[in-house]
Every structure is written in C-alpha cells, then in structure tokens.
Structure 1
C-alpha cells in the first residue's frame, strides 16, 4: 500500500457547513452479498466505492456473480441461494482488508460443497478468525488448516445443520455470518444476542425488508432471531444511506471548534450505530437529530445530524462499547482535549482490530503530551490537558496503517 503523509499547518477556524457523507460501508457490503443470493437484477444506489467494498465486488465476481456499474447505481444479477458458479477445485477469494467481507462471505460459502481459499492483505491476515471457524464447524463446514488467522481453506457442506447460537462477544459480523449461512440451511436457525452485548442490526433489518422468513423476540436478558432457511429471495432496489462512523470525525471536529455548525443529511440513525452521539451529549456536546424517519428503500432509520461548537467535559463510560467500538479512537481524542480525567471501560475488543487500537492511541496521546493508562482488563484512563501544547514546534505523529487511528 502507498504510504501518505499529511501536514496540518493551520488550525481550522469556525465554520458553518452542510456536507454529504458517503454511503455506509457495512450496508454496502451486506447489500452486495444479499443481492448475490436473490433471483434477478438488484439495483444498489449510493454504494460506497471504497477499497473494502470494491474488494467484496471482486470476490463475488470470482464466484460467478455478474456485477455491473451503471450511471447512478450498481446492478447485481443474482441466481438465488447457493448459486455461486464454481469452476475450480479450489476457488481463491481475495478479501483485501475487509474482515466484514471475509466473515460474511464465509457464511455463504459454508453451505456450498466446494473449497474456497480465503486470504487478505497483511493486516487482515493477522485478524482473529476463530470466531468464524467455531460456529461454522457446527453448521458442517471444515477449515484447513484449522488456525486463528487467514489465509485458510473453507470446505462447505451439502448438509448444513440449523444452529442455536449464543453470541456472547457482541460481534455483529458473526451474527450476520450465521444468518447468511442460515439462508440455505433447512430448518430454523436461532441466534441469541445478550442485550449487554448487542451489536449492529443492519443484516436482520435488510433480511426482513426483502421478504426473508425471519422473526424476532426480546426477553429481559437477550434479543432472539429466528430464521427459517431455504426460502427463495427476489431482487430489490436498495439505497445505501450515509455512514455515521465516517460522520463521527466531522461531528467531533465541529464540537471542538467554537462557534461552528455542521449539518449532515441522510445519516443512518440506527440505535446500534449512533451510540457515540449519546456519549458526546453526555460530554456536553450540542448535537441535534432532525427529520428522523424510516427509509422506505433500506428499512433503516435515517435523519439529519446537526452539531455545534461546544464546551465539552470529561466522561466515564462504563456501558457496552460494542455499539460504538469503531468510534472509540475519536472519543479518546475528544476526551484528551478536555481538562480532567476520563475513563473508558470494556475496551478489550480494540486490541483485535486492524491494529491494537488501545496501544496505538496511547502512543499518539504520549506524542501530543497527554498522559493515559491502560489496565490489564482494558480500562483506558485519559488525563486530559484541555489542549495540545505545541510550544510553536512541529509535532510528528507516527500512525499505523489503520484508518480509524489516522482519522482520529
């Protein structure tokens, strides 16, 4: 990958801007994968044309799925469940840096009696894959070699078994992977998600929208999903709404810039995606969500987010961070720029991302003169100073090849 250096020479003054954020990555990848399992031509509008999403397109094309870029949308020509066209004994699937693609496409491959060699870039090949292997082995798939990381080979089964899975880690990708596997599995697959570990709900919203036989039940302690497999799904038109995780950086910039106002239209306001806004509001951030409505195309809750320059304060975050795990790095930076001590509990999942994000943020905070401490049980304590002390000197900040850290 080409390495880039960014030089920031002038502080941003107050602003009043309206910006269109690109389409959501999670929804873009899910739209492509689900369209591949439907019968007919699906049209996807506002697809995020990022490297991860385009790598997902390439993987699906390798599996024989016809995907065409049109003037204002992408057309995906699906042939139904388990319809990938396998031409070789082992099909090589390159997923780049996209673990969303790797995990979700594994669910689709697990119910096809063929072999798929899955590999990614250097970063993806370091990421944990056991959370994929263990539940899919129970479905009937086999993995060679059986190890914690990519690359490896998946051998799907012609006789998949419906599962009752308890998702204790709060992984939306593992939940989604099992639901995609369940599409071609006879019987009812049950996924139970503990409420304190609840995760993104895009896949189940999407499946319900396109007519999948899927039901939901809530208990005091968990959310249950029941999916009856082997029901044909038909093509759809889907408009990808705008990415709240990409919006988070600009929202934080607006809060940290006195006198500013930022308007971001058509942002996904799914409860499992905008938890970071609740945290920023607790820090005294002035943020409004207007025009909240259920989008007819995607089934997602969508609204306009407006952020104003604010005087933020330190915070203690003790709740489930699974819903805003990708937004923690920028929240750490916001906390570092306030006078006082902030604490973030349950941050252990950050260790298993593209990089060890806990450690990388600590390195950056040290470089800008902010003290912080990480305990063995992944509690991040930040001793905010209110500002970055440059003393009129340039500060060189070395960051890893991790976009969340770089953007923060």
Structure 2
C-alpha cells in the first residue's frame, strides 16, 4: 500500500473504551513561545510532538534559545523577555502552522535586523496581512508576497508605539499576535476583539502579566502593558479538544458505543463542538472537572446511538468550533431534518478551503447539501449507509480533511481511498494508532 494512502473498507464495530489524546496544540505552541522568553528554565509534560510544535521549537533555537526535547517532555532555557538573538540573514520556517507564523510576528516587532518568515505551500496561500496590518501600526515594517502572503520579511523597531486595534474576524491568532506585540511596547495597547479562543489571555493571567480582560456580550476588551520579565513556568499540557472531537463524533455516530476521553482542555472558548452536538441530541457529559493554571480540564464521556436531530446552528458558536465543523457536518449528514450553518467564511481561511471541502465530502457520500456564500445547508439522512467507493485527494495536505475522511469511512461504510496520510503529522501524529486501538 502507498505510504501516503489509507484504504478503509469496513465500518467500525461498537466499542467501549477509555483513551487519551495528544496534548493541546494551541497551548503547546504558546508554552514554547512564552517559556523561551522567561528568565530561567521551564519544563513541559505531555507536549504535543507534532510538526507544528517542532517548527516552533526550531524557530526558538534559531533565535538563540536552548531547548531539550525528549518524547513528550521538554525543557526550555529561557533567554529573558529581550533575549532573542537577531542575527543577519535569519529565516524562520513556520511550515504548516498558522498559529506559529502569526503569533511569532508579534514577538519579533522589536527585531533590529530583517527576518524572513516562510511556510509550506498551504501556509503560503493564507492571509498574513491580517496580522501585518495591525503590527505595522506599532512601527514594524513588512514586505509580503502579493502584499498578503508568505514569504514575508519583518523589520522591527526599538521605538514601538502602543495601538488601538479592533479584531473583527474572531481570530485568536490575530488577537494573540497583537497581545504579544503589546507586551513589548511602552504604554497601553487597547484591543477590542470578537469572541475567540482565549488561551493567550489565560496563560498571561496565570503568569501575572499586565493584561486585563473585560468580557462583553459579543466581544472582549483587552488592555496590554509592557512587561519586564516572565518567570519560568512548568506546564502539564492537557489533551486537545480539537483532536478529541474526531473521537467524540465517531462515538456519537456509532450505535451502542461508549467512550471516555481523559484530561481534555474544555476551555469555554473551545467547546463549541460539544455545545452544537448536544443541541443535536448527542449524549456528551463532562466528568471530573477542575481548573489547571487558569484552564478548565475534564474527562469527556460520550455514548452513541442517540436519535440525532437537525440544527439551525447559532452563528455565535462558530468561533468556538471553527476547527471542528468538518466532523460536525458528518453528524448533520445523519441527523433527521435539514441542518443550516451560516457565517462560515473563516473556514476557507484554514489549511484548505474547508467549507468547500466539507461540501465536497458530503457530495461524495451522497448527502444533498447546498453552499451559498459562507452558508451550508445539509439534508440529513438517519439511514445513511455508503456502499460505493470514495476517493479523497488534492486537499493541500489538510490534516483535518484527512481525519474527517477516516471518521466518515468508519461511521458510514463504503470503500474509501484517502490520500496524504502523513498530513496528520502537523497536529495529531498518533491519530491512526488510537483508531486502531478502538478496532481491537
């Protein structure tokens, strides 16, 4: 079998299991960045060892930070908040990681030498003007390909000016990049941000950094002041809710199956997938809830076989589930009635145009759906069963498209050929191992 191709011919039999999924990617990357700027040695356990996180570690090493990484443990010898070494002709490769590519620019706004930021084919097509525009207001200078894309070059300044910024897209990456730049800037930076995941704010709060957040109904008001130092900090990274979502959906779609996913980050700004699926009738419960370093953690218990109903999905839940919509669409495919999702333009700003891919996969499955602008209507079929061949390829190696294909194949049957198996290395390298464990 082609190492880049996975063939699946059987639906998954019912199961009753406990699993642990990989460490949270968003927290892993933020820990690497902030620990690198701490005054001293920080340690992490259960760090996600994926290509995105390894790219972050490589970037820090290029900036003069010593990092010792072994399996899922990592030790970072922080250089202090102004300790990055800006060398001539420095190139940083963010590879496939939009989180790394956008967040690191906020920390590089004081570079005294030009730094080139590059990425893979997929990342190079994504919009970086959404961060270069606000960061330019601090005083940094950018040159971007086509005034929008990677590769780009940043030249910072020692005379950073605080800014006022309105983040309208619900992008945690844009918001976090500006927060990081604000931490380097004298005075107060004001951010009005549409609701999005808030790991940066929570980690800064845990570290006692000068950030204040006022939660309004539809947006947050954030004030950021300059800091002098970050104390070193240890972190046991909780499991990733986005990675967990594939197994949540697999269980929801599997009659008589039960699953417990241990120690998952259930941050309020990340559990849109759970809120949406519960509105559709899924049986999902949080157990053993606790707070760890300002983040909410819980075990997630899922029972399959519920009668699923269609949803007119409230768009206010979109940003809290932006990475999970591909698998949510699979649940809508089996739900009774017509589901309607709107305001999903941001999906097409991901590793691949995911709204288009969501529709395409449904079409291949024989599920009627209509895309209109940034909205998707799905005509559910509770008796859905696939008996034909489905081939998924040419999806810009988007890990979530690959994993969604696997969940669809195991849930609905048919003969599936899914290309670019190695795409999962960016975010969830042991995905297929857990799948195989569920088959035993």
Q: TM-score range by the shorter chain?
A: over 0.9
Per-residue deviation, residues 339-382 of structure 1 (Å, max 9, x unmatched)? 32110011111111111111112111111111111112x11001
Per-residue deviation, residues 24-82 of structure 1 (Å, max 9, x unmatched)? 00000000000111111111111100011001111111111110124762111112113
Counterpart residue number, 2:123: 124
Counterpart residue number, 2:339: 342
Counterpart residue number, 1:92: 91
Aligned-partner SS, 2:162: coil
Greater length-normalized contact order (CA 8 Å, ≥ 6 residues apart): 2
Q: Is the 8 A contact 1:82 1:112 kept in 2?
A: no
Q: Distance in 2 between matches of 1:129 and 1:136?
A: 11
Aligned-partner SS, 2:284: strand
Q: 1:397 to 1:86 in 2, by over 3 A?
A: closer
Are 2:197 and 1:200 equivalent residues in the alignment? yes
Q: Distance in 2 between matches of 1:275 and 1:359?
A: 21
Are 2:301 and 1:301 equivalent residues in the alignment? no
Q: How does 1:47-66 map to 2 (within 5 A)?
A: 47-66=47-66
Counterpart residue number, 2:371: 374
Q: How does 1:107-122 map to 2 (within 5 A)?
A: 107-122=106-121
Q: Distance in 1 between matches of 2:337 and 2:71?
A: 51
Deviation at 1:394, TM superposition (A): 3.3
Counterpart residue number, 1:105: 104
Counterpart residue number, 2:427: none
Q: 1:230 to 1:390 in 2, by over 3 A?
A: closer
Which of 295, 300, 313 is residue 309 of structure 2 equivalent to?
313
Counterpart residue number, 1:404: 400
Q: Distance in 1 between matches of 2:393 and 2:363?
A: 11
Counterpart residue number, 1:35: 35
Counterpart residue number, 2:409: none
Q: 1:113 to 1:382 in 2, by over 3 A?
A: same
Deviation at 1:114, TM superposition (A): 1.9
Q: Distance in 2 between matches of 1:323 and 1:219?
A: 16
Aligned-partner SS, 2:40: strand
Q: How does 1:181-330 map to 2 (within 5 A)?
A: 181-193=181-193, 197-295=194-292, 298-309=293-304, 310-320=306-316, 321-330=318-327
Q: Distance in 2 between matches of 1:69 and 1:277?
A: 33
Per-residue deviation, residues 239-271 of structure 1 (Å, max 9, x unmatched)? 111100000010011111111110011100110
Q: Distance in 2 between matches of 1:48 and 1:286?
A: 28
Deviation at 1:388, TM superposition (A): 4.0
Q: How does 1:384-403 map to 2 (within 5 A)?
A: 384-391=380-387, 393-398=388-393, 400=395, 401-403=397-399
Are 2:22 and 1:5 equivalent residues in the alignment? no
Counterpart residue number, 2:154: 154
Deviation at 1:389, TM superposition (A): 4.2
Q: Is the 8 A contact 1:138 1:161 kept in 2?
A: yes
Q: Distance in 2 between matches of 1:43 and 1:136?
A: 30
Q: Is the 8 A contact 1:111 1:185 kept in 2?
A: no
Q: Distance in 2 between matches of 1:35 and 1:27?
A: 12
Q: TM-score, normalised by structure 1?
A: 0.94
Deviation at 1:181, TM superposition (A): 1.1
Q: TM-score, normalised by structure 2?
A: 0.88
Q: Distance in 2 between matches of 1:236 and 1:274?
A: 26
Aligned-partner SS, 2:176: helix
Q: Distance in 1 between matches of 2:82 and 2:8?
A: 50
Q: Distance in 1 between matches of 2:168 and 2:114?
A: 29
Q: Is the 8 A contact 1:318 1:346 kept in 2?
A: no
Unaligned runs of 5+ in 2: 405-440
Aligned-partner SS, 1:333: helix
Counterpart residue number, 1:68: 68
Q: Is the 8 A contact 1:118 1:152 kept in 2?
A: yes
Q: 1:258 to 1:368 in 2, by over 3 A?
A: same
Q: Is the 8 A contact 1:360 1:399 kept in 2?
A: no
Aligned-partner SS, 2:34: helix
Deviation at 1:220, TM superposition (A): 4.8
Q: Is the 8 A contact 2:144 2:150 kept in 1?
A: no
Unaligned runs of 5+ in 1: none
69-78 vs 314-323, which moves further: 69-78
